């Protein structure tokens, strides 16, 4: 859950085959072998957005669909962001988007933000930051 020094929420828009459309999401990725969740969060944020977090705070960790698979998500609040080089995977077509917190929360309420981990991360950050 990246939040800029100016208070903007950063999300990425990318095509998701399972959904059959482009979705707005928080930057995310898969843990590498032996990789710690915090290291993965730092790496994925830099790769997908071109920002490196000065501070990461674990907001929550949860199963996404425990009746179907064992995927376990860690949601971090990333602040004190510093510009770096974005390095998306070769098959990723990612567009960085910026939103004021009120806009992002409105998208979660009205259904424009439809990715579960992103809705959860946004609501957790809103609670943590008092939005």
Instruction: Report, as residue numbers or ranges, the catalytic residues.
Output: 92
Dihedral angle at the C-alpha atoms of 54, 2, 131, 7, nearest 10 degrees? Answer: 70
Dihedral angle at the C-alpha atoms of 99, 14, 30, 86, nearest 10 degrees? Answer: -70
Name the residue with tokens 């072998």: 33
Name the residue with tokens 């806009």: 103
């Amino acid at each position: 859950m990246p939040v800029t020094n100016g208070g903007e929420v950063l999300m990425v828009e990318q095509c998701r085959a399972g959904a059959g459309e482009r979705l707005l999401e928080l930057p995310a990725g898969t843990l590498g072998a032996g990789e710690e969740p915090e290291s993965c969060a730092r790496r994925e944020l830099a790769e997908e957005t071109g920002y490196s977090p000065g501070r990461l705070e674990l907001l929550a960790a949860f199963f996404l669909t425990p009746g179907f698979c064992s995927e376990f998500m860690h949601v971090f609040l990333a602040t004190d962001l510093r510009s770096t080089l974005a390095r998306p995977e070769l098959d990723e077509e990612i567009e960085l988007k910026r939103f004021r917190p009120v806009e992002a929360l409105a998208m979660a309420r009205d259904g424009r933000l439809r990715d579960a981990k992103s809705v959860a991360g946004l609501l957790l950050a809103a609670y943590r930051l008092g939005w």
